[in-house]
Amino acid sequence: MSKKTILVVEDEADIRELIQFNLEQEGYAVLTAGTGEEALAVAGKSSPDLIVLDLMLPGIDGLQVCRELSAKTIPILMVTAKSSDADIVLGLEMGAEDYITKPFSPRVLIARVRAILRRRENFGKKAAQQDCVIHKGIKIDAARHVVSSDDSRIELSATEFSILEFLIQNPGWVFSRNQIIESCKSSDYTVTERSVDVQILSIRKKLGEKGALIETVRGIGYRMAE
Ligand code: CA
C-alpha cells in the first residue's frame, strides 16, 4: 500500500516539526510549508492526499489558502486557536473537512487525519460501486451499512461488514488474507492475517446456514461461493 502524503502548513517551526514527526511516525510521507504562498506552490506541484493547515499564517490568510486548496478537492484539516469558532465555521464553509484546536494531542491529530482519509476512500469506493448487492439471499446495503439474510437483519462489526462486502462483490474469486486485509484497511480495526480467520469465523456464525457460502480455500484464503 502506497504512503499517503500530507502537507503540513504552519509558520511556527517547532509546532510544524512536532506535527511532521507524529505523522511520519504513523507512516505518512510529510511535506511542509511555512507560509500560505509556499503551501499553494507545494500543493500545486505535488498534490498531497491531505493538508493540515494552520489558519494563523503570515502573508496570505489561512482561510484564503483553504479556499484555494479545497477548490483542488484536496481534503483539509484546519488547525485553529481556541475560541475562533467563526473562523472554523468559515473554514468549513470554504471546504475544509474538519478542524482541530490548539493545543492538541498528537493522538487526536492522527485520529482526525485517519478519519478524513478513510472518508475520502470510502467516498471513492461508494461512487464506483453499487449501493446494494444481493447474492444468494444475502443483501448488503452499503449506503445504509446494513446486512440482511433472507430479509432478517444481521449485526456485523465494521470490519466484518467490510470483509463480507468485499467478498460478496467478487463472488467466485479467491482472495488471500492479505488481499482481504487491504480491502478493509479503511476500518478502524487493525486486521492481521490471523485475525482475518477470526473475523471470517464470526461472519459465518452470524450468517447461520449461509455462512457456508464463505469457502475456505486451503493454503490461499477465502472465497464467496458463486
Ligand atoms: Ca501559526
Three-state SS across 154-170? ECCCHHHHHHHHHHHHC
CA of residue 84 to ligand 1 center, whole Å: 13
CA of 27 to the centre of ligand 1 (A): 24
71 Cα: distance to centroid of ligand 1 (angstroms): 22
Asked if residue 220 has pLDDT above 80, the reply is no
Ligand 1 geometric centre to CA of 76 (Å): 16
Domains 5-122 and 130-224 share a fold: no
Ligand 1 centroid from CA 58, angstroms: 8
CATH of 5-122, one of 3.40.50.2300, 3.40.50.1260, 3.30.70.60, 3.50.50.60: 3.40.50.2300
- pLDDT over 70 percentage in the chain: 90
Pick from 19-28, 49-58, 114-123: least confident = 114-123
**Is the pLDDT assigned to residue 176 strictly greater than 80?**
no
Residues 6 or more apart in contact with residue 80 via CB below 8 angstroms: 54, 55, 56, 87, 88, 91, 99, 100, 101, 102
- Confidence band of 194 (pLDDT split at 50, 70, 90): confident
State in Å: Cα 54 to ligand 1 middle.
6
Average pLDDT over residues 112-118: 86
pLDDT, tens digit (0-9, with 9 covering 90-100), for 33-87: 999 999 999 999 998 999 999 999 988 988 899 888 877 788 899 898 866 677 7
Q: 91 CA to middle of ligand 1, Å? A: 15
Alpha carbon of 144 to those of 32, 139, 202: distances in Å?
38, 11, 21
Residues contacting 132, CB < 8 A, separation 6+: 139, 140, 141, 142, 143
> Considering only 6-20, 69-83, 119-133, which range has the smallest mean pLDDT?
119-133
Nearest to 102 by CA among 124, 117, 115, 87: 87
| CA 6 / ligand 1 centre spacing (Å) | 17
pLDDT of amino acid 188: 58
Separation of CA 210 and ligand 1 centre (Å): 56
Domain ranges of the chain: 5-122, 130-224
Task: State the pLDDT at residue 126.
Answer: 52
Whole-number Å distance, alpha carbon 219 to ligand 1 midpoint, is 54
Q: Tell how far the Cα of 81 is from the centroid of ligand 1, in angstroms.
A: 9
Confidence of residue 94 (pLDDT cuts 50, 70, 90): confident
Query: Which is more confidently placed, 225 or 91?
Result: 225
C-alpha of residue 53 to centroid of ligand 1, in Å = 9
Q: Which of 104-113, 127-136, 175-184 has the lowest mean pLDDT?
A: 127-136
Instruction: Report how far ligand 1's centroid is from the alpha carbon of 56 (Å).
Output: 4
Please give the angle made by the CA atoms of 7, 11 and 13, to the nearest 5 degrees: 90
**What is the pLDDT, as a whole number, of residue 46?**
92
130-224 CATH fold: Arc Repressor Mutant, subunit A (1.10.10)
Out of 21-30, 85-94, 124-133, 149-158, the most confident range is 21-30
Q: Determine the distance separating the centroid of ligand 1 and the alpha carbon of 55, expressed in angstroms.
A: 7
Mean pLDDT of 124-129: 54
Ligand 1 centre to CA of 20 (Å) is 14
For residue 187, pLDDT beyond 80:
no
